[in-house]
Amino acid sequence: MILTGIGDEGANTIDGQIKATLDLGWKYLEPRGVEVPGFAKANFHDIPDQAFDLAVHKLDSAGVGVYCFGSTIMNWSKKIGDPFEITLAEVKRAIPRMKRLGTKFIRVMSFKPGDDENGFEIVMTNRTQVITGSVTNEKNEAVKEYTVVVFPEDQSKWTVSATRWRSAARPDQQGQFKIADLPPGRYLAIALEYIPEGEWMDPEWQTRTAKKAVAFTLDEGATKTLDLKLAGS
């Protein structure tokens, strides 16, 4: 499990952000707004190259890595109708900085709707999807101590931030499990006797586990019952 936090929620300066990260016992930081000595505070994406070089040096010296790059790509200071060249330039600026940091993940926001835009319709529904089932071992005996993990079949959703498409559950006293917080779609499910807390949210774990998992479709408003075999951890 990897713990990280947005730097400017701990301190304004790069030194303060590094200190807060180390005080928490963490090894990773997500820089966003940052003040580097000799330079005004700005987004880590936009600070001058000299400021960026100094910040990277301080991070490397402290042994703190950057797990996610807090960018200015999109966000509510820009409207969806703005020239796309603005976004493209931001992407081109972020890529070399991410490569230098060894960072695979980037945080983006959403465009602000125009003040005169309308026609949006909010649809509320009480239809939910439910996954239930039980687990047996290789002898077809019911198992009452296990963890079921469900995650998307689509590998593009195997990211740290894609929490909407994955969930885990423990059995009740009758050995049954229930998951009722996933949207419709194609999923993979696996039952394990033991998994360290939070490890199932790691994309690398999902990659290793996918070959042993059971694929299924969760339809809108449906209840899906799974009979799973206990897999080796």
Domain CATH code at residue 145:
2.60.40.10
Which pTM was predicted? Answer: 0.49
Q: Which residue has the tokens 């995650």?
A: 151
Q: Compute the residue count for the chain.
A: 233
Judged by DSSP in three states, 69 sits in: strand
Mean pLDDT of the chain: 88
Residues 140 and 54 in one domain: no
Note the pLDDT tens digit of each residue in 105-115: 998 887 766 66
In sequence order, the 6+-apart residues with CB closer than 8 A to the CB of 24 are 3, 5
Q: Indicate whether 1 belongs to any domain.
A: no
Residues 88 and 181 in one domain: no
Single out the residue of 174, 120, 177 nearest to residue 150, CA to CA: 177
Residues 145 and 225 in one domain: yes
Q: Indicate whether 222 belongs to any domain.
A: yes
Note the pLDDT tens digit of each residue in 71-81: 888 877 777 77
What is the C-alpha separation between 15 and 17, in angstroms, rounded?
5
CB 15, CB 62: distance < 8 Å = no
The segment with the largest mean pLDDT, out of 36-45, 105-114, 130-139, is 130-139
Domain count, the chain: 2
State which amino acid sits at residue 47.
Answer: I
Residue 27 domain boundaries: 7-107
